[in-house]
Structure 1
Amino acid sequence: MPDQYLRTIRHFSRDIRLYLFASGLVGFCLFSGIYSLLFNLYLLRLGYGPAFVGQVNAVGGLAFALSSLPSSFLGSRWGNRRTMILGLGLAVVGHALLSQAEFVPTIHQQNFILSMNSLSLLGISLYIVNGYPYLMRVSSAAQRHHVFSLQAALFPLAGFAGSLVGGFLPGGFAGLLQLSLDHPAPYRHTLLCASLLLTPGVFALVATSQETREHQEDTPTDAAPLPLKLILLLSFIAFLYTASEGAVRTFLNVYLDDALNASTALIGTLAAAGQLLAIPAALMMPFLVQRFGRTRTFNGAVLCSALILVPLALIPHWAIAGLCLMGTMCLAGIRRPAFTVFQQEMMPLRWRTAMAGAAATMTGFGYAAISLGGGYVIEAVGYRALFLMAGCLTAFGAAIFWLCFRHRDDHGEAGSS
């Protein structure tokens, strides 16, 4: 297996390598890395509770969802590459401004946090929605499972480093500033550093080749009408399977800090361990698909991500929470690339960006729903109810996917390469 990976990676184009470099920085700085670990803790240090943490994440999810379809339309007209560059640039600006919320007067602080988080997620939407069709365009059919699994592995690999840095860097700033870790300033400095470190990723995307029109004539599949029912079905499944991961990624660090009194360093170490274990899981995706098929690989990962929330809900211990976090990250590394390739290859070429936008929209709505509802559920009845509810929603999504696609030919491709 390693030899096969190395042979495939050696044939990756320059554009694929530059995109993967930018992806690694996104993982290190934002998703699964520094921002993912510390932003909610920063909000707690600013004096807010789980309800506002949930509200911030929900509004960000809504911003991502509402901008995803417009992002796909903009990418179709303006080009996936240029739209990605714009999106990542907006993400840098939005996250940098968001990290400075401590300086905003209290009367305006909440609105500032919500608006800057929305700007950041708008940028991420432009980047992600156009990134998947771009990768499909610059990779061959034989490379795609390896390209997407490597991208999925880069997120936890970079996130591992980002979680370690994010776990210990606030302590370093606290020492320099002679402040305790209950003060927001150490987190503010760390989050600003994370935002600025994302800038080379923008330049990497700028360095990719200019997009050209597809050189082949339109085929019957290219001219096919919009497969609306299929897009709606896949998007609804994306909405449901988001519940378990959204609950863990949004509230597990708050749960460890607020309910289990875990230290920031321990939270960072657990997150880093989860990222590290997710790397081989993501790299195994092509071989799992080859052995079991895309349908069983994706659905098995979704079902397991629902089941592991049961011990998290029933056993209030940091070790169980850490194992759940690790399991969620491992399964996400398998599920995400498998589903992305599945839904993109089922689409005719002209509708791939629309499919990516629709799936991202419903994923954003899923995160928003679990974030907004989760904060109030926690304050009303506790963390246990939230985790069990999220697990049930994800299991329901797995059941629908299995009923609809269990007979699907896993090696077929609807769209042109």
Structure 2
Amino acid sequence: MIKIKNYLHQYRRNGKLFLFNSFSSFFTMSAFSILLGIFLKEKQYGEAFVGSIMSIQIVAMGIGSLPSAFMLNRWGNKKSLIVSLSLIAIGGVGQVATDSEIMIIIYSIVYGLGFGIQFTVEPLFLVENSSPVERMSLFSLNFVLKNIAMMIGNFSTGYISDYLKQYMSSVEAIKWILIGCSIIALSGIYAVARIEEYEIVQTKSSTNFFTGYKNMMSSPVILYILYNALIGLGAGMVVPFFSIYLKYALHVDDMVVGSILSFAQLGTVLGGMLIPILVLKLGKPKTVVLCQILSIPFLLSIAFPQGLALVAVSFFMRSSLMNMAQPVLQNLSMDLVQKESRSSLSSFLALSNNILRGAGVYLGGMMMERFTYNTPYYFTVAMYFIGTILFMIIFMKDQLWGLRKQLQKQG
């Protein structure tokens, strides 16, 4: 924590205010990621409907990212973030305050649209409000704080849920927790309202919806979008179901579910702190490849549980390795295009990742209901492996070509 406090002094005011926004919104996300699925299951909805709601949320995040680029160029970061936080709060309250399936779906879309804007703004805002020297550490710190919020949210909501169940039903306890966390998201507006907005320069891409997307397209960008989509598809099959998997496949209490996921989030926080050191030693592309390849054995270990302790360790390692490279990926993606195309690329990456993640959630829910809770993990491993190969082709082509020639000589 001392290291984080020292880091904060070196950043611009806008960067610090955005960090507060990230913390509050991702605390809310953590509560919904762990409790919404359980809430719907407790209301006697099947895995397929739960998967559909999670899928709709994520698809809405992707769809929301498309107009976000246009919104950013016309309104700027500040207004876009205020709209984002308002939609998250409205959608969050609505999902648990209604008994109508149609209304749950509508509020899920609203909630997803809010986070879609948030994800599009994030990398662009961090690049624009940091110098090249501090950029990697700011991306890392933002990532660390988001995951601290997720860790605190996972840990606290599980315990609060079990405590409230002494005085009310499980459904009511989770309902009030999620309403409270939705209101917490609104606290980010206080920080966002104090952001100093730079003058918005109207460009051709900001007045024509499709021009920005057309200008950014190149072979490396297309391959990176495909890589991003494959990782989203694989993650969607398992990540949103972690709490359901632990509760209903391993038969543990909400408190234990929250503790394990909080423990896993701690791994992500620690990994985020280590990532600048790894980047200095290995470089950005090698760091990403190493983290993603090493995460695969632990993902398989979750699919073949050998006791609660080993599952907790596997969650810890998988979360640490697969997620700790996110700030590096955000930084690399913004370097693929010119400044005027960054908002378009950011929105398209959010679109491709979330649309495929949403499809993965739907497929994961179907597989869990028709086969076993373990089945989606095998497909996720395949997606991660193929995606990592694509990433190497984009960013490590020269090293791979050199290795190939070396092997040919030895042969």
Q: Normalising to structure 2: TM-score of the pair?
A: 0.89
| Alpha-carbon distance between aligned partners in 1 of 2:386 and 2:335, rounded to the nearest angstrom | 24
**Would you say 1:289 and 2:279 are equivalent positions?**
yes
Who is 2:178 aligned against? Answer: 191
What amino acid is the match of 2:25? V
Residue 6 of structure 1: CA displacement? 6.3
Residue 174 of structure 1: CA displacement? 1.8
Residue 340 of structure 1: CA displacement? 0.3
Who is 1:210 aligned against? Answer: 197
| Alpha-carbon distance between aligned partners in 1 of 2:398 and 2:132, rounded to the nearest angstrom | 18
Who is 1:171 aligned against? Answer: 162
Who is 1:10 aligned against? Answer: 9
Who is 2:131 aligned against? Answer: 140
Who is 1:391 aligned against? Answer: 381
Residue 225 of structure 1: CA displacement? 4.1
- Identity across the alignment (%): 21
TM alignment of 1:20-35, pairs within 5 A: 20-30=19-29, 33-35=30-32
Residue 280 of structure 1: CA displacement? 1.7
Who is 1:415 aligned against? Answer: none
Who is 1:412 aligned against? Answer: none
How many pairs align? 388
Change in 2 beyond 3 A, CA 1:304/1:53: farther
Change in 2 beyond 3 A, CA 1:377/1:162: same
| Alpha-carbon distance between aligned partners in 1 of 2:347 and 2:298, rounded to the nearest angstrom | 29
CA contact (8 A) 1:24 1:155 kept: yes
Change in 2 beyond 3 A, CA 1:168/1:8: closer
| Alpha-carbon distance between aligned partners in 1 of 2:33 and 2:119, rounded to the nearest angstrom | 17
Residue 301 of structure 1: CA displacement? 1.9
TM alignment of 1:224-263, pairs within 5 A: 225-263=215-253
What amino acid is the match of 2:17? L
**Secondary structure, in 3 states, of the residue corresponding to 2:374?**
helix
Who is 1:46 aligned against? Answer: 43
Who is 1:413 aligned against? Answer: none
Select between 134-143 and 322-331 the one with higher mean Cα deviation: 322-331
Residue 297 of structure 1: CA displacement? 1.1
What amino acid is the match of 2:290? G
Change in 2 beyond 3 A, CA 1:370/1:313: same
Change in 2 beyond 3 A, CA 1:228/1:78: farther
| Alpha-carbon distance between aligned partners in 1 of 2:287 and 2:218, rounded to the nearest angstrom | 25
**Would you say 1:82 and 2:82 are equivalent positions?**
no
What amino acid is the match of 1:153? V
Select between 329-338 and 134-143 the one with higher mean Cα deviation: 329-338
Q: Normalising to structure 1: TM-score of the pair?
A: 0.88
CA contact (8 A) 2:299 2:381 kept: yes
Who is 2:58 aligned against? Answer: 61
CA contact (8 A) 1:244 1:309 kept: no
Unaligned runs of 5+ in 2: 202-211, 400-411
CA contact (8 A) 1:279 1:333 kept: no
**Would you say 1:73 and 2:70 are equivalent positions?**
yes
| Alpha-carbon distance between aligned partners in 1 of 2:184 and 2:5, rounded to the nearest angstrom | 28
What amino acid is the match of 1:402? M
Deviations 1:177-221 (A, max 9, x none): 3x3xxx31111011111111111112211111122247xxxxxxx
Residue 138 of structure 1: CA displacement? 0.8
Who is 2:365 aligned against? Answer: 375
Deviations 1:60-99 (A, max 9, x none): 1211112212211221222123212211111111111112
Deviations 1:157-185 (A, max 9, x none): 112211121111112222233x3xxx311
Deviations 1:72-128 (A, max 9, x none): 122122212321221111111111111213xx3xxxx22111111111010111122
| Alpha-carbon distance between aligned partners in 2 of 1:204 and 1:361, rounded to the nearest angstrom | 26
| Alpha-carbon distance between aligned partners in 2 of 1:158 and 1:8, rounded to the nearest angstrom | 18
Change in 2 beyond 3 A, CA 1:316/1:388: farther
**Would you say 1:200 and 2:201 are equivalent positions?**
no
- Pick from 152, 167, 173 the counterpart of residue 143 of structure 2: 152
CA contact (8 A) 1:29 1:162 kept: yes
